[in-house]
Amino acid sequence: MTKRIAFQGELGAYSHQACHETYPDMEAMPCRTFEDAIEAVRSGVAELAMLPVENSTFGRVADIHHLLPESGLHIIAEAFVRVHINLLALPGTPLNQIESAMSHPMLLGQCRAYLEAQGITRVTGADTAGSAKQVAGAGNPAMAALASELAGEIYGLDVVARHIEDEGNNTTRFLVMSRDPDYTPRGTRNMMTTFVFQVRNIPAALYKAMGGFATNGVNMTKLESYMVGGSFTATQFYSDIEGHPDDPSVKLALEELEYFTSEITMLGVYPADPGRH
């Protein structure tokens, strides 16, 4: 039986592309929301979920950091996916016939310079692949979509212009979630550890909590804060560090962190994606 990997969005979305590139032998399962993708794994309908967490141009993906600690799932891998944006239109449509392009607001913003140069009006759509599906169904050659080449293949659209994004290194980082954690070192690649924590209510608690990573030479690649429970005083921190919890330096740093925190939740240990370096 083919195993499934769940993602949020329509077939042809960049999350679908991430599934296709990272797990080509698994069946990609589209879900309406991030919560639905998480629930598909929790309930056993899917083995894995592919969730975007941040983009090199637009920063973190809203809601994901709130969902991960409560999901009950574990990070087992990360995937860096190059986001190439393409102008898709009905078969045979020339560029000079296109008057408007539909896509998610994030993609419209990433192609602003190209669209303005071509005199193409931006039209907001719900998402990228959904816009491609809508353009294919509408049958209007003056309306195009901004999406992946995969979306063009799925919905029968031509690539009129390829890789039109303004930023040449636009990349999205995805996390692969599973019901079961996997803390075993894998291969020769460096390991990453991700966790969330809340500091104790004492002066300079965060500064002191971070001290253990500095003194033990552990590189922290991400530290982000966000409110929990709608309170301005209850702050949770999300962190990625290089290394495995069993590494002596990481073990010491986490022990020191524990002293200054009221709660630590380990989200996953996984190999660093080659795209990280």
| pLDDT for res 179 | 97
Identify the CATH homologous superfamily for domain 191-276: ACT domain (3.30.70.260)
Q: In the block, which residue shows the tokens 């592309």?
A: 17
Query: Any catalytic annotation for residue 172?
Result: yes
Domain residue ranges of the chain, discontinuous segments joined by + = 4-83+170-178, 86-161, 191-276
DSSP codes, 108-133: HHHTHHHHHHHTPEEEE-S-HHHHHH
Please tell me the class of the 4-83+170-178 domain: alpha beta
pTM of the model: 0.89
Give me the residues of the chain with pLDDT under 70, please: 1, 62, 186-189, 228-234, 277
Q: Which residues contact 40 (CB under 8 A, 6 or more apart)?
A: 4, 6, 29, 31, 46, 49
**Fold match, 4-83+170-178 / 86-161:** yes
CA–CA separation, 44 and 258 (whole Å): 33
CA–CA separation, 30 and 46 (whole Å): 11
| pLDDT for res 204 | 84
Please tell me the class of the 86-161 domain: alpha beta
Residue among 172, 193, 194, 261 flagged as catalytic: 172
97 to 87, 120, 142, 160: CA distances (angstroms): 12, 10, 6, 11
Contact between 103 and 165 under an 8 Å Cβ cutoff? The reply is: no
CA–CA separation, 124 and 131 (whole Å): 9
Number of C-alpha atoms within 13 angstroms, CB side, residue 172? 21
Residue among 7, 174, 195, 213 flagged as catalytic: 174
In b/e form, how buried is each residue of 141-155, taking b as 16+ CB within 10 angstroms? bebbbbbbbbbbebb
| pLDDT for res 231 | 61
